[in-house]
Structure 1
Amino acid sequence: MGEETSTADASDQPTAPHTEHKRWEALPTGSAADGHAIIVTAEATYTPSGAKLTGPVDSIEKLDKLIQWAALQPLGVPAQVWLVGTGACELLGWTINPGSEYDVDDLEKLRIRAAESLGLVITASLPPLITTGWELRGDPGHVVHLSRAIGKATQMVDIILEPYVWTYWNKDFGWHGRIGDMGILGNPTAGTYLPDDDLPAARELGRRLAWTAQHLGVLPGPTPARTGAAVLDKIRRERTRTGKGIVVTTAGAVPPIHGAPDGDFEPAAGWIRDHLDSDDLDDVSQIVTIDQRAAYLASAGMLEFGYGKPRQLLGVDAADAASADKPAFGIWHVTLPAGGQYALPEKLPLPHPEMLTDQPVTTWVTTVSLEGLCAPIVDGGMGLDIDDLAVTEAWVYPERGRALDKWAKVLREARAVAAETGDAAMKRFIGACYKGYVGRMTRPEMWTATRMQHHHQPIWRAAIMAHCRWRGRRVAMRIARDTGRWPIRTMTDSWVYLLGDRQTIADESEALGKMVVEKHTALTDETLLAFAAAESARDVRLAIAAAYGVGAESDDDETGE
Structure 2
Amino acid sequence: MSGAWEQIPLFGLPETTLTTPPESADDAAVADTAEMAGPELVAPAESESHSLSDVADDTVMPQSPETQSPVVAADDSAEAPATPTPVWETLPASDDADGHAVIVTAAGSYSPSGRELTGPVDSIEKLDQLIRWAALTPLGAPAQVWIVGQGACEALGWVIDPGSEDDFDDMEALRTRAAQELTAVLQATLTPMLSAGWELRGDPGHVVHLSRTVGKFTSMVDVVIEPYVWTYWNKDFGWNNRVGEMGILGSPTAGTYLPDDDLSAARELGRRLAWCAKHLGVLPGPTPARTGAALVDKIKRERTRSGKGIVVTTPGSVPPLDGPPRGDLEPAVGWTRVPDEQDLVRTCRLVSIDQRAAYLASAGMLEFGYGQPAHLTGGAAAAAAVGDKGAPFGLWRITLPPGKSLSLPEKLPLPHPHMLPDQPIQTWVTSVSLDGLCAPVADGGIGADRGDLDITEAWVYPQQGRALDKWAKILREARKAAVDTDDVVTKRFIGSCYKGYIGRMVNPDMWTATRMQHHHQPLWRAAIIAHCRWRGRRVAMRIARESGRWPIRTVTDSWVYLLAGGEDIADPSAALGKMSVEKDTILTDTLLSAMVSAQDVHEVNLAINAAFADENDGEGVL
Following TM superposition, by how much is the alpha carbon of 1:153 offset from its aligned partner in structure 2, in angstroms?
Answer: 2.5
| Alpha-carbon distance, 1:339 to partner | 0.5
**Contact 1:491 1:558 survives alignment (8 Å):** no
Indicate yes or no: 2:160 matched with 1:96. Answer: yes
State whether structure 2 residue 564 is matched by structure 1 residue 500.
yes
Q: Report whether the alignment pairs 1:295 with 2:358.
A: yes
* 2:123 is equivalent to residue 59 of structure 1: yes
Q: How far, CA to CA, are the matches of 2:374 and 2:169 in structure 1?
A: 51
What's 1:414 paired with?
A: 478
**In the alignment, does 2:344 pair up with 1:281?**
yes
1:229 aligns with 2:293: yes
Q: Are residues 20 and 41 of structure 1, via their aligned partners in 2, closer, same or farther at CA, if it must alter by over 3 Å?
A: farther
CA contact (8 A) 1:239 1:247 kept: yes
> Is the Cα–Cα contact under 8 Å of residues 29 and 206 in structure 1 kept in the other structure?
no
Amino acid at match of 2:331: P
State the alpha-carbon separation in 2 of the partners of residues 75 and 528 from structure 1.
Answer: 54
* Match in the other structure for 1:428: 492
Deviates more, 1:63-72 or 1:146-155: 146-155
The answer for the alignment partner of 1:313 in structure 2 is 376
1:59–1:92: 8 Å Cα contact kept in structure 2? yes
Q: Which residue in 2 is equivalent to 1:186? A: 250
Q: 1:25 deviation in Å?
A: 1.7
Which residue number corresponds to residue 471 of structure 1?
535
Alpha-carbon distance, 1:104 to partner = 1.0
Matched, 1:384 2:451: no
Residue number among 202, 209, 212 corresponding to 2:266 in the alignment = 202
Unaligned segments of structure 2, at least 5 residues: 1-21, 23-32, 45-58, 64-81
Does the Cα contact within 8 Å between 2:101 and 2:145 map onto a contact in 1? Answer: yes
Q: Which stretch has the larger CA shift, 499-508 or 539-548?
A: 539-548
Quick one: distance in 2 between partners of 1:544 and 1:4?
Answer: 58
Identity of aligned residues (%): 67
Contact 2:394 2:459 in 1 (8 A): yes
Measured after TM superposition, the shift of residue 385 of structure 1 is 1.1
Alpha-carbon displacement from aligned partner over 1:497-544 (angstroms, at most 9, x marks no partner)? 001112100011010000000001111222222111112111111121
What is the aligned-residue RMSD (CA, Å)? 1.7
Equivalent residue number for residue 433 of structure 2? 369
CA contact (8 A) 1:492 1:560 kept: no
CA distance in 2, matches of 1:279, 1:76: 56
Query: What CA distance in whole angstroms lies between the structure 2 residues aligned with 1:480 and 1:130?
Result: 66
Residue 491 (1) aligns with residue 555 (2): yes
Aligned pair partner of 2:182 in 118, 132, 136: 118
Runs of 4+ in 1 over 6 A off after TM superposition: 10-14
Q: How far off is 1:21 after superposition?
A: 4.0
CA gap 1:9/1:542 in 2 versus in 1, 3 angstroms: closer
Q: How many residues align?
A: 557
Q: Which amino acid aligns with 1:471?
A: R
Distance 2:147 2:460 in 1: 48
Q: How far apart in 2 are the matches of 1:42 and 1:547?
A: 46
Q: CA deviation at 1:449?
A: 1.1
Deviation at 1:7, TM superposition (A): 6.1
SS at match of 2:559: strand
Note the alpha carbon deviations across 1:92-116, whole angstroms, 9 max, x for none.
1001011111121110000000000
Of the two structures, which has the highest relative contact order with CA contacts closer than 8 Å and spacing of 6 or more? Answer: 1
Q: CA deviation at 1:9?
A: 5.3
Q: CA deviation at 1:6?
A: 2.4
Q: Is structure 2 residue 507 aligned with structure 1 residue 443? A: yes
Aligned counterpart in structure 2 of residue 352 of structure 1, from 409, 413, 416: 416
Match of 1:216 among 276, 280, 286: 280
Distance change >3 Å, CA 4–CA 537, structure 1 → 2: closer
CA distance in 2, matches of 1:10, 1:193: 30
- CA gap of 1:11–1:357, structure 2 versus 1, over 3 A, is closer
Cα distance in 1 for partners of 2:573, 2:36 equals 55
Change (3 A) 1:3 1:445: closer
Whether 1:156 aligns to 2:220 is yes
Match of 1:6 in 2: 37
Provide the residue aligned with 2:112 in structure 1.
Answer: 48
Q: Residue 61 of structure 2 aligns with which residue?
A: 16
Alpha-carbon separation, structure 2, partners of 1:135 and 1:207: 30
Counterparts of 1:414 and 1:225 in 2: how far apart (Å)?
16
Distance 1:349 1:71 in 2: 58
Match of 1:482 in 2: 546
Does structure 2 conserve the Cα–Cα contact (< 8 Å) formed by 1:291 and 1:495?
yes
Paired with 1:169 and 1:449, the residues of 2 have a C-alpha distance of 20
Q: Distance in 1 between matches of 2:401 and 2:446?
A: 10
Q: Distance in 2 between matches of 1:287 and 1:196?
A: 38
Select the structure of larger CA radius of gyration. Answer: 2
Amino acid at match of 2:221: V
Answer with 28-37 or 365-374: which moved more.
28-37
State how far apart, in whole Å, the 2-side matches of 1:20 and 1:449 are: 44
